[in-house]
Structure 1
Amino acid sequence: MAGSNNFGFDIQDLLNFPHALACCKKCLAISRAMKRNRQQHIHCPICRVQYIVHGNSEFEQFRAYFKNKGLYIQNHQIFEHCRQLAAIAHRINQYSPDYPPLAGLLQAFHLARQFVHFTTFGISKDFLLVLKFIAQHIQVRGIVALTPDQSWVLSELESSDLKTPNFCIKTICTSTNNWKKLPHQKLIVIDGLMAFKGSANLTTTAWRKAAHFYDVVEVVTQIDEVITHHNRYFSTVWANLSEHSDIITIGSDPFDDSVA
């Protein structure tokens, strides 16, 4: 029908496009802005960590600290990047045998510019090697729940081969005492722009099964939904495993975790 909108795109959406995003140091939650709590301290709305800033120019020191720690998400040429990721999602959603979900995931890994965050129940050596390779260029952070037969992952993570400061995996091993608290969610987030969720663990077997609909893989490209999934299913668990306390001090004292 003449005059109808067949593209599903409203240019006003550009006004709401999330620009200045940052990751909390403790939980890595993605946030547009960190507000003050009742004590007037800047705090993360997900893990509630407080950033206590000593000295003058509080916000300037806070911004400098986040920049120094690489916690800002700098998406240059963002629309082209989104276009490339959206093309992957479109091809996966076509359910073509010529482009299985595994191919789309590997291509998304290749295109990642800022970070890959994930949580999985088990992981295969193939994926572990791929993620170590990606970490040569960007931040890779993951949570891996392990069954007793996957103890090899611990030795692999402790190996000096391909070690990089960009690669950090937190493991949780199963036992009769912690089964109820063992993470079972499967989520992969690329640059805070795209997410893969479903039932497929980060193993080649699971992702190949997904091509035949024996495992579930869904692609999320709506950015608010991507951030919600990331903060709910990744950041809340990462915070519980974090080495940081509930207070992060920013200041000039040499004993503080201050701006360099």
Structure 2
Amino acid sequence: MMIKAHWIRKAHRWIGLMFSITVLMASGSGLIHLWMSRSQPAPPPLAARASLSHIDVDAITVSAVDVMKLIKKQRSSALAKEIHLRQISGQPWYQVFLHGDQKATYVNGVTGEVNDAMDEQYAREIALGALGTEAIEQRAYLTQYNSEYIAIFRILPVYRFDSNDAMGRRVYVSTLTGSVTRATDDQKQWEADLFSNFHKWQFISHKNLRDCLLGCTTLGSFFVSILGIWLFFITGKSKRARISS
């Protein structure tokens, strides 16, 4: 029994030493995540901007049937999968998502004007309401996730707008949901990068390799814990045996 305990103790010591770095990384970044969740506020609500406050239903003269007729004049095979009504620049607009298109097609509910450029304008108004400043700049239109807007946010495509202030505030906006999907600034992003690199190993760009290494280190830490519990019971039995003898 003592020989078995000796080898278990050795395995526990050296394997534990090997995986202690990854345990420290995970636990330390876990504390960072706790700090982030306590110190960082939720994404800002939309400010009460006139263009976003309500939809002027009384002004609408174009029906949804008319909308599709107007679109089919330009694209005869157009098929709608979603139709929303949005208040943009003080007027009601139909937001039509067609099969095969990433961006929506917009039709004015008063004049019947078809204008695809209203998608960016709608996103800008959402960003203006969230950032609370007129000095914003569109930096990107994302159709794929990147190191800052990662897959956990789940919604694509999105627009990125920056306020260009001292804090480096920026928001990611979805015109599909009509909302801010992520709000951050330079300080928050530094904390998020620290957590992502130490806890989820985002510095490894290849996802399959990253997941494999994370799985191996987690399994190793689990194995070390099992060895520790096993060693506790074995040495406990040995001590009781020596005392009774």
Question: Same-fold call, TM > 0.5?
Answer: no
Q: TM-score, normalised by structure 2?
A: 0.23
Instruction: Indicate the structure with greater helix content.
Output: 2
Q: TM-score, normalised by structure 1?
A: 0.22
* Bigger Rg, structure 1 or 2: 2
Structure number with the bigger relative contact order (C-alpha 8 A, sep ≥ 6) is: 1
